[in-house]
Structure 1
Amino acid sequence: MEIESQLLGMAESFLFVAGEEGLTLAQLAALLDRNEDQANEIMTALQDGYDNNLKRGITLKRYGGSFRLVTKSELAEEIKKMLENPKPSTFTQAALEVLAIIAYKQPVTRVEIDDLRGVKSERALHSLTGKGFVEEVGRMDGPGRPILYGTTDFFLDRFGLASLKELPPLSLEEEQDTEDPDLFMTKFQEAFSIQGEGGNDV
């Protein structure tokens, strides 16, 4: 269908107001008074308009099922310079280890994380939960019904992933290889040092 300029403007406005939460295709369809197929065409046209115009510094991405307006990856270095500050990295080594384990082995309990790392993970887990990267996703059947943890849509957003299926492969030959924390973390950091080049600074 031919996309009316007004529809593109409306969609852009809705996405701007939605901010970091973004909008699902169903929400956009309802707001634009169109069916989901039509709304998807509008999103495609909007993204094409951004990507094909060098004067625009933003584009449209779909993260975790929601559409969001984001800055273009080509401008990552310029944006990084603007945001640079002397504060330490968002993640401690312990937090990064815990996040890696949860990302690839979820749903997982704290005890399982502790066993893999060989040390207590409660503090790092609390930090990741507080920052919105990790959340409780249920409870395991069994004694004490321990809490199961998984990653959030915010995690997908910050690492530039549309879904968990896009997690970079760790290239581990066998599942038991992930029982080696050093190997697991080395593979995780290598994978995300490549993934993170698109400007998703964490």
Structure 2
Amino acid sequence: MTDVHTRGATEAILMVVDEPVAAADIAAAIDATIDTVTAALVALRDEYADPDAPRGFELREVDGRWRVYSSRLYADAVGAFVVEGQSARLSQAALETLAVVAYRQPVTRGQVSQVRGVNVDSVMKTLSARGLVTEVGEIGGALQYGTTTEFLERMGLATLDDLPELAPYLPDLADVDGEGR
């Protein structure tokens, strides 16, 4: 298989996937090596990101998987188009709860409630229904929650390591866990 064919086949697959896809899955589908597909993905990402020819889309790697997304340059236009007439925003309570889960995961509902000082059962159900949090385990009979790939995608993050540090905003938090996150 030629590099041109690998690149074209990889691009075609990216155009039809509903969720981010691993390089290994693309390689298996087109009978190519993972290294060849990864090289094609990186080349496509770099081509799409050319500042001299801005595009309305970009190729991003999220949690080891790849997908085409609308360009961050045009987020306002896409947001206006997608949510026209809809209220797709999360409530303040949901945003606070999501932040606790993101920074403290894995975390139980009880632990989130303790941090927030209120019952979070209904908010956690909402976040789960929107695909932003999911059950990731169990400790002492209590379910533990963490964020999802959907959360990473919506936040524009490749991994949880890309979450901004909280220490600059909440100096006394750095003393709590020693990491500032």
Q: Fold-level match, TM-score > 0.5?
A: yes
Do the aligned partners of residues 176 and 36 (structure 1) sit closer, same or farther apart at CA in structure 2, a change above 3 Å counting?
Answer: closer
Gapped regions of structure 2 (runs ≥ 5): 168-172
Are the equivalent residues in 1 in contact too, given 2:59–2:66 (CA < 8 A)?
yes
Are the equivalent residues in 2 in contact too, given 1:64–1:157 (CA < 8 A)?
no
* Whole-Å separation in 2 of the counterparts to 1:12 and 1:55: 18
Which secondary structure does the structure 2 equivalent of 1:96 belong to? helix
1:31 matched to 2:32: no
* Whole-Å separation in 2 of the counterparts to 1:87 and 1:59: 25
How far 1:59 moved relative to its partner?
Answer: 1.7
Report 1:139-154 matches (<5 A).
Answer: 139-140=138-139, 142=140, 145-154=141-150
How far 1:87 moved relative to its partner?
Answer: 3.2
In the TM superposition, structure 1's runs of 4+ consecutive aligned residues that sit over 6 Å from their partners are none
1:3 corresponding residue in structure 2:
3
Question: Percent identity, aligned pairs only?
Answer: 34
After TM superposition, the structure 1 stretch with the greater mean CA deviation from structure 2, 77-86 or 90-99, is: 77-86
**Matching residue's letter, 1:15:** L
Structure with larger RCO (C-alpha < 8 A, sep 6+)? 1
How far 1:32 moved relative to its partner?
Answer: 2.6
How far 1:85 moved relative to its partner?
Answer: 2.4
Aligned residue pair count: 173
* Whole-Å separation in 1 of the counterparts to 2:101 and 2:24: 29
1:101 corresponding residue in structure 2:
100
Report 1:128-147 matches (<5 A).
Answer: 128-140=127-139, 142=140, 145-147=141-143
1:168 matched to 2:164: yes
The CA RMSD over aligned residues, in Å, is: 2.2
* Whole-Å separation in 2 of the counterparts to 1:131 and 1:89: 10
Q: Deviations over 1:125-165 (max 9, x none)?
A: 0000000000001110x3xx111111111111110111111
**Matching residue's letter, 1:79:** V
Taking structure 2 as the reference length, the TM-score comes to 0.86
